[in-house]
């Protein structure tokens, strides 16, 4: 899971966000691994499913970023800060 201070699990931050959105939507971990051509392991997909509670969008001073809410851990930013429309 991507955080501003940590490297990505997959090769692309956008792919990490895509994977997390699919987990929140209820996709099965095996389906996610197959859809992203094995960019993450099945074990990671199952672990993320257990850890992730949801997503939230935070807006600060006209900028917006998406954060993932995790069980027992602080939220983690999974998108870049971009100007809110």
According to DSSP, the β-strands at 52-60 and 63-70 are antiparallel
What is the pTM (predicted TM-score) of this model? 0.75
> Which pLDDT band holds residue 83 (cuts at 50, 70, 90)?
very high
State pLDDT tens for residues 1-59: 555 545 445 556 778 888 889 999 999 999 999 998 888 899 999 999 999 999 999 99
Alpha-carbon distance of 19 to 15, in angstroms, equals 6
Q: Where in the chain does DSSP place strands (E)? A: 52-60, 63-70, 76-77, 82-83
């Amino acid at each position: 899971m991507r955080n501003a201070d940590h490297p990505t699990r997959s090769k692309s931050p956008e792919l990490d966000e895509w994977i997390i959105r699919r987990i929140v939507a209820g996709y099965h971990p095996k389906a996610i691994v197959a859809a992203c051509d094995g960019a993450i392991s099945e074990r990671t997909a199952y672990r993320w499913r257990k850890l992730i509670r949801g997503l939230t969008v935070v807006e600060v001073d006209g900028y917006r970023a998406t954060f993932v809410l995790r069980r027992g851990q602080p939220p983690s930013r999974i998108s870049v800060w971009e100007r809110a429309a």
